[in-house]
Every structure is written in C-alpha cells, then in structure tokens.
Structure 1
Amino acid sequence: MERINPATGETIETYDEHDEGQVEERLSRAESTFETFRDWSVAERETKLAGVATLLRERMTEYAELMTREMGKPIAQAEAEVEKCAWVCDHYAEHAGRYLQDEQHPSPPGSTVKTVHEPLGPVLAIMPWNFPFWQVFRFAAPYLVAGNVGLLKHASNVPECALAMEDVFRDAGFPDGAFQTLLISSDRVDAVLSDPRVKAATLTGSGPAGRAVAGTAGEHLKKTVLELGGSDPYVVLEDADVEAAATTAAWARNLNGGQSCIAAKRFVVHDAVYEAFIDRFVAEVESFTVGDPMDRDTDVGPQARQDLMEGVHEQVTGSIDAGATVLTGGEPLDRDGAYYPPTVLVDVPQGCPVDAEEVFGPVAAVYRVHDEETAIEKANDTEFGLGASIWTDDLERGERVASRIDAGCTYINELVKSDPRVPFGGVKESGYGRELSEAGIKEFVNRKTVWRQQPETSNEDEIPTE
C-alpha cells in the first residue's frame, strides 16, 4: 500500500499488507475481546469514548496533517474533520445510555415485558478515503459504545490514518481487540466477511462495492448498512434568497475538493432567478483558492489520486462533447499534483456523464427549469437518493417540495450535511440503513425481548397462536 502525496505526486511511504496469519490473529483477538467487552456497562464504555474525544482534540494538528498528506484535504478542513469526530464521541458518550435503555411493553397481569439491546460481536467496516477519520468514527463511536468490536478495512491510500485510529482507541483505554485495522486489499474483503466470527458489516463506498458486500453478507445472513453514492440535487426556487443560495451552493459543491457523497452535484434553478444565480455562483466558485493543502489560505486542494482526477476530467470532456457548455474550469491545472479547478457546466444534456453519473470532484452541473413541478422531476431524475437541498423563502412550500423528493435526507435553505444528532442514510442506489443518532446505534444490536412471568400467575390453559 503506497502513500502518495496527491499535492506533489511523490511517494511518502509504502506499507505491507497484513498476511493471512496477521488477519487471523486480529479476527481471533476481536472474538476473544468481545466476550469480555460485551459485559462492560454502557457507562464504562461512555467514559472511554469521552477519553477518545479528549485525545482527538489534543492530537488535532497531528491527525489533520496526516489526512492532508495522504489524501490532499485542505488543512483547515482536516482540522474541522477531527473536531467533528470528537463531537460524535461526545454525543454518544452523553446519550448512549439513553438510546440503549430498556424499552417496556404492555403485558398481562403478573408479567413484565421489555426489549433490551445487546451487542452482536465483531463488525467489519469498509471505509473510503474522502473523509478518512469521519467516515470511520461515524460507525465506530456508536458501535463500540453499544458493546460491539470493530474491524476496519480502510482505503488503501490512507493506511496511516487507519493505524492512527487504532492507536487512539487503545490509548483511550479500550481493549486491544476492540478496534483493529486490517491492512488488506479489496479482493480479500469477501473472505473476512464470510468468516463466522464477523457478525455484521457496514460500508461507505461505490454501488458495485456495496452490492458485493451485501451479496456476501446475505449468503451468510449477516446484517449490513450501506451508504453508497449520491448525485444530490440543489433546488433553487423563484422565491429563494438567491445570494445566500448561490454562496452556499459554491461551498456545497467544492468542500473537500468536491469529493463527497452528499455534495450538491446537480443545481436545479428556476428560470426567474437563473441568471442571477449563475452570475453569483460562478463568481463565488472563481474566488476559491486552489493550491497547497497545507496552506491555510487554500480552499480547494488536489484530488486524492491522479487517476481519480483523470476520471473526473473524462466525465467533463464527455459531457462537453455531448453539448454541455463550460462557464469556468474544465481543464486540469498545469502544475505538479492532481489538481482540478472548480468547474461549472450549463446546457447539460440528459444522459451525458455529469447528468447521469456521480461526479466525485469539483464539477457542478446547472439546469434551468420553468416551474416547481419540473424542478421536482429533475431532482428525482437520478438513480441515487442520498440527500437534497431546497431553497425557498416559503418554509411550508419547502417542506412540500422536500416530501416529493426521493432522498434519505432533505435540507431546506441549508446544504446537506451529516450530524451526530440526526439519522443519516439514503434510498434507491444510495444504499440502506441509517447511521448516527439513536437510529444508528441500534442498527447493530440484538433487540431482544425479555418476558418475565410470575409462576403463580402463569395461564397454563393459554394456547399460543404462533
């Protein structure tokens, strides 16, 4: 596994994959650790998780620089990512006990019935490189505090990030086997997932990867949560605050170099405000500084890998060939590193690459529509269904439009974002299941019914119906 600095193209370091013996050792350790870790009280696990938050903040500079070196995230955004990871630890350290408390149910005289929430065991997480810490903590914080143990298969271009997160959980007092990294290639995931010691899996990534994981897990009847791609619509209606919508739109598309599942990608703008939106949007996009991600003045760094940058450019050139018009950007920058400028395309034909595919880079496709109904149709004209943003001064109208857009999360007058306090996930080709909040922590627990009956009140004549 090569660590290549995407800002320079230089190889930083090379890591050897874990061999079969090392993988076996980690699986065995996960299984044995779970047998004792599951008996920890939620309060004990909350305390350790609070300790993780403290260490993350103490090591913020170290971890931010690590992310920036491995995948090119601008340093200020990397620091914000570390803080967000600390926040999700804070959240579950405070609320896990309430989320996991027993649920009481109505029952006959002489009995009590409740649901308890018990951990499942080792959970395999297959995670991407674009938010190398946040994607991991989004699963690790709730699953560990619930009593599961984690096995991380991270993207091959961020191995040191993966190992650093293993260290931070151990240093905070979690058992050695509670959170472990597997340095393995994608073609070895199937064997790990098939192992009977692994009880469930979560994946953030592409549709093909999600189908492969879901297929293997299905064969073995293992629970999965999938957060896949997105081509989020950003709908600007005629009564919107155009300046606010355009300014936020530029950031919603270009944060993290546009390398985000929930980035706004298709901008659907009402004809009455189209010209004003375009003028402001392009001006804002062109104001961004593209450069060295270690420089605090940089807004957009390099793409994470050279091949990924080339793939984005192929989507742009294919769309131009189909009839799209470039208003700004559209060519790789002539410098060392995988730099691609913020790009805006209009007159986008239906079915061209930037219309029909997920574009994982700083490229915005803008559409002109004549009414609300057409805007909704265009917003839903995608196989994906992760998030959507709707801009209008009429909040009731915004909710009405949001109710008709096929997405797992909709935001009115705000960009789409993940937040520890609310459920996160998609529909259609964007996956299934939910992360974060109470919904996320309950994805990988056994919701066990416990019925207690006083012996003297048991009704021996009662005939079970099932």
Structure 2
Amino acid sequence: MTKTTKCISPIDGSVYAERECLSKDAALEAVARARKAQKAWAARPLQERIDLVLGALAEVERTHDRMVTELAHQMGRPTRYGGELGGLKERATYMAKIAHDALAPTVIEDSAAFSRKITREAHGLVFVVAPWNYPYMTANNTIAPALIAGNVVVLKHAAQTILVGEHLADAYHAAGVPADVFQNIVLDHDTTSALISENAFDFINFTGSVGGGQAMERAAAGTFTGVATELGGKDPGYVRADANLDAAVDGLMDGAMFNAGQCCCGIERIYVHESLYDGFVEKAVAWVNALKLGNPLEEATTLGPMANVRFAKEVRAQIDEALADGATAHIEKMPADDGGAYLTPQILTNVTHNMRVMRDESFGPVVGIMSVKNDEEAIELMNDCQFGLTAAIFTADAEAADAIGARLETGTVLMNRADYLDPALCWTGCKNTGRGAGLSELGYHALTRPKSYHLKKA
C-alpha cells in the first residue's frame, strides 16, 4: 500500500496538499542519481555555482506571490507579512558573498621547498530535513551554501509545508541547477531512518524537535555520518533597569508573538527588573490586545492560526496547567479563538519554573513574565533551562550585556533585539537545542571537510 503525506491547512482543517511517499527503492534510486551527479557539479567553477544559486533566489522572488499564498494555506502565516523573501535574500546573498573567502585554501607555506595548505572538500551528498515554521529560510540556510560548496542536496520537507520543497526545487531547476543535483523528495519516517542507517548520505542537517533529532542520531549511529541538529528552544529575554521600556516591549512581544509564536528563537519567557516590571506588563498586555487573530488570507489579520490543531492543543494545555497552579492570565479570549488552531495569544504572570509553560518548549503565542531583583537573579533564571539557542538582553549598557552574555548558556546573545538571525554570525545552540553550525564562514566549514596537502618540492 502506497503511503501518502498530507498537509492539513490550519485555515479550515481541509487537506490542502497530498503527496505519495517514495518507496525505499525509489528513494535509493534518487540517492544514486545524486551521487552520480556530484563530481561533475563540484568540478564546476565556484562562481558558476554561486551564480546558479543566486539565480534560484531570483526565481523565488519572481514567484513571490506563490510563496505568500501557499504559506498562508499551509502554516497560517498572514499574507500581510509577505512570506519570507526578505530573510531568504539576506541569508543567501551573504553566503554567496563570502563563499570565495570561506572556501579558499588556508596556505601554511608556499616556498621553494614546500607547499603546505588545508583545502575545503565537499562532503558529497547532503540530506536536509527542514521544518515547517520558517520553511524557506531554514531549508535554504543549508541548501544554498551546500550547493555552493560543491555538494549535491536531497531535501525532505515537513509534511505541513510540503509545497515549499516543490517551490524551491522548481526555482533551482528553473535557474539551471541540474535536477539530480538538487532533489526534493517525500519520505515517511521509516524510509528516512532506513536510508540514514544504511549510510545513504554524507552529511545530515535536521531542524525540528528534540525527539526528531534523537531519532536522526539513533538512525545514524555507527555510520559516522555527520549530523547537525537545531532542536527545541525556550529562549529568554531580560529587561534591565536601564532599558528603554517601549523598545523592550516592542522587541520582546514581537519576538514572542510573531508567526503565532512558532519561531525557533522566539521569546518564551521574560525576566524584567522589578523597577520596570509593572510598566512592562501593562504595556505588553496592551501590545497583545492590539493583535487581530483571524484568517491569514485577510489583510486585517496580524496573528494567524497555529500551523496545526495539535500544536495549539499543547499550548492550551501548558496555559491551563499554569493557571491551575496559580498563574494569572491577562488576555481575554478573542472572538476568532475556535478551540482549535485559532488560539488567543496569552501573557502569564505569577509564573514559576515549576510550571511547564516556563520550562518546556511552547512554540506558540504564550509568554510568561517574571520580576527579578538584579542581573544575578536574571542570569540564574535564564540558565535554568534544558535548551540554549538565543537570549535577548535589553539594556543601555553594551558592556553589561557583553558581561552577562559571557555567563549565559546559549548559542547567540542579542542586545536590544530578539528573534533575529544574523547570517554573518554562526547559528548554533547548546544543551538540548542540539549541535550544529549554520551560516557564516563556519557554516561552510560544517558543509565541507578539511583536506591537507604537504607537498615536498625538493
């Protein structure tokens, strides 16, 4: 019996797209075609590969309306925000810009006696398993630099955003990237695990849940295949006594609520100096009450549904548990809240770290806010977490932010902004957020292996 993958639209619960999963044999044939194509692709001049990747980016831009409409139907992002083109362009163009330097040999010696250098060699076949929440940017964070570095790529996209993989493949192929060099395929979990365990790939990049990352590592055990993971998050924000209150509210609440809170580096817990606490909560509540929950296809909507009913169910459960344990909710149920994917955003106070809403990943439009006396208490609470992706500090003192950041167990420290990925900096995490190095020069290093030359000339 042929297995299928379905995308259930959060707009109305209908089946928006359905695709057949490849059998194991068909998937192995796709892998074989990719491997056969890799050497010729890597042999092309670097600038030619860069130009083809940038051509794919231009093709996505040309078909921007498709991105916007399909995203709304697949995962509920309001069309007013225009999809992901801005971030996609920023990241891909930066990686193209630095490619020559990042992939250049490190020359140790070039004399009459010796030539000694370290080059970067493509892994070969890179397998990208992409998530649904920022489906273009997260996928292309690896696809673009992997192809530029001389790898071939097989993409498996999340079921919730299955059409994104097709759109990216259409764009790359229209730009001139050979069909076997970049393939988008549909796989079920069992076939995915079987391919990994049989050493089908040379490098795996997975973005998703902790459980999904563990499954990837288990499947790869003993194959020596590199596995890069970006998993859960529970990112904190800290508002120091010297912070600009309005800027902190705008930055942190946007970080908590944009994309219905479904952001890898979204703000899920906030610690505010006691001198600003009451004012912050008051302004934060007003900020959230100004949101318009509704159909993402309507221009007035600023907050769409969560991508799936089951995701909203988990957020509701965390909120209900917190309220039962003494937390205070500040946002009244909104008219569009249907008990399903359409979920009222929520601010909670009187929360503690004994509550799941302050401990487990929520990945939805809810945030807990706590008062702190000083930096020491804030640092202790920010580090009291199983995850470590980003941490945001709002302060007028850059030196203080730097000192606090040095003590935080996180992958990225942000000052006076939140929920942002700088492509010039390494995107990485610690603890149960996983291990990996995306974008920046280190992203190229992750997608290649070092190869040393020690050439004695005389």
Cα shift readout 1:400-452 (whole Å, capped 9, x = no counterpart):
11111110000011113112222111011111121001111110212101111
The 1-side partners of 2:444 and 2:363 are apart by 28
| Code of the aligned partner of 2:354 | G
Q: Does 1:311 align with 2:326?
A: no
| Code of the aligned partner of 1:309 | A
Match 2:162 to one of 148, 159, 163: 159
Deviates more, 1:151-160 or 1:431-440: 151-160
Deviates more, 1:337-346 or 1:198-207: 337-346
The 1-side partners of 2:440 and 2:337 are apart by 44
The 2-side partners of 1:13 and 1:53 are apart by 24
Match 1:92 to one of 64, 80, 95: 95
| RMSD across aligned positions (CA) | 1.7
Partner of 1:73: helix, strand, or coil?
Answer: coil
Match 1:237 to one of 230, 236, 240: 240
Q: Post-superposition shift, 1:330?
A: 6.5
Q: Post-superposition shift, 1:75?
A: 1.4
Q: Tell me the residue number matched to 1:126.
A: 129
Deviates more, 1:264-273 or 1:208-217: 208-217
Q: Post-superposition shift, 1:213?
A: 1.2
Q: Tell me the residue number matched to 1:428.
A: 431
Does the Cα contact within 8 Å between 1:156 and 1:185 map onto a contact in 2?
no
Q: Post-superposition shift, 1:116?
A: 0.8
Q: Does 1:68 align with 2:72?
A: yes
Match 1:359 to one of 355, 359, 362: 362
Q: Post-superposition shift, 1:225?
A: 1.0
Q: Post-superposition shift, 1:147?
A: 0.6
Q: Tell me the residue number matched to 1:14.
A: 18
Q: Post-superposition shift, 1:92?
A: 2.5
Q: Tell me the residue number matched to 1:37.
A: 41
Q: Superposition pairs for residues 39-438 of structure 1, below 5 Å?
A: 39-79=43-83, 81-106=84-109, 110-329=113-332, 333-335=336-338, 338-438=341-441
The 2-side partners of 1:398 and 1:148 are apart by 39
Q: Tell me the residue number matched to 1:442.
A: 445
| Code of the aligned partner of 2:74 | E
Does the Cα contact within 8 Å between 2:233 and 2:389 map onto a contact in 1?
yes
Does the Cα contact within 8 Å between 2:125 and 2:201 map onto a contact in 1?
yes
Identity %: 28
Q: Post-superposition shift, 1:12?
A: 2.3
Relative distance call for 1:306 and 1:39 in structure 2 (3 A) is same
| Code of the aligned partner of 1:286 | N
Q: Post-superposition shift, 1:2?
A: 1.7
How many pairs align?
454
The 2-side partners of 1:179 and 1:193 are apart by 18
Relative distance call for 1:332 and 1:4 in structure 2 (3 A) is farther
The 2-side partners of 1:425 and 1:20 are apart by 32
Does the Cα contact within 8 Å between 1:68 and 1:78 map onto a contact in 2?
no
Q: Post-superposition shift, 1:78?
A: 4.4
Does the Cα contact within 8 Å between 2:337 and 2:343 map onto a contact in 1?
no
Q: Tell me the residue number matched to 1:461.
A: none
Q: Post-superposition shift, 1:107?
A: 7.4
Does the Cα contact within 8 Å between 2:306 and 2:341 map onto a contact in 1?
yes
Does the Cα contact within 8 Å between 2:135 and 2:161 map onto a contact in 1?
yes
Does the Cα contact within 8 Å between 1:322 and 1:349 map onto a contact in 2?
no
The 2-side partners of 1:321 and 1:340 are apart by 19
After TM superposition, where is structure 1 displaced by more than 3 Å over at least 4 residues in a row? 106-109, 329-337
Does the Cα contact within 8 Å between 1:8 and 1:336 map onto a contact in 2?
no
The 2-side partners of 1:385 and 1:88 are apart by 22
Q: Post-superposition shift, 1:77?
A: 3.0
| Code of the aligned partner of 1:41 | P
Does the Cα contact within 8 Å between 2:268 and 2:362 map onto a contact in 1?
yes
The 2-side partners of 1:330 and 1:253 are apart by 18
Cα shift readout 1:247-285 (whole Å, capped 9, x = no counterpart):
211101011110012001110111111001111111111
The 2-side partners of 1:106 and 1:161 are apart by 46
Does the Cα contact within 8 Å between 1:387 and 1:409 map onto a contact in 2?
yes
| Code of the aligned partner of 1:7 | I
User: Structure 1: where are the runs of 5+ without partners?
Assistant: 457-466
The 1-side partners of 2:226 and 2:104 are apart by 22
The 2-side partners of 1:332 and 1:383 are apart by 35
Does the Cα contact within 8 Å between 2:126 and 2:201 map onto a contact in 1?
yes
Partner of 2:44: helix, strand, or coil?
Answer: coil
Does the Cα contact within 8 Å between 1:124 and 1:193 map onto a contact in 2?
no
| Code of the aligned partner of 2:122 | P
| Code of the aligned partner of 1:156 | A
Does the Cα contact within 8 Å between 2:313 and 2:340 map onto a contact in 1?
no
Cα shift readout 1:28-48 (whole Å, capped 9, x = no counterpart):
111111121121121110110
Does the Cα contact within 8 Å between 2:95 and 2:439 map onto a contact in 1?
no
The 1-side partners of 2:335 and 2:165 are apart by 30
| Alignment TM-score, normalising by the size of structure 1 | 0.94
The 1-side partners of 2:342 and 2:316 are apart by 11
| Code of the aligned partner of 1:288 | L
The 2-side partners of 1:378 and 1:438 are apart by 32
| Code of the aligned partner of 1:365 | G
The 2-side partners of 1:68 and 1:97 are apart by 37
Q: Post-superposition shift, 1:298?
A: 1.8
Partner of 2:170: helix, strand, or coil?
Answer: helix
The 1-side partners of 2:227 and 2:287 are apart by 40
Relative distance call for 1:334 and 1:296 in structure 2 (3 A) is closer
Does the Cα contact within 8 Å between 1:319 and 1:352 map onto a contact in 2?
yes
Cα shift readout 1:272-331 (whole Å, capped 9, x = no counterpart):
110011111111111111111122332110000111111111111111112211111568
| Alignment TM-score, normalising by the size of structure 2 | 0.95
The 2-side partners of 1:20 and 1:59 are apart by 32
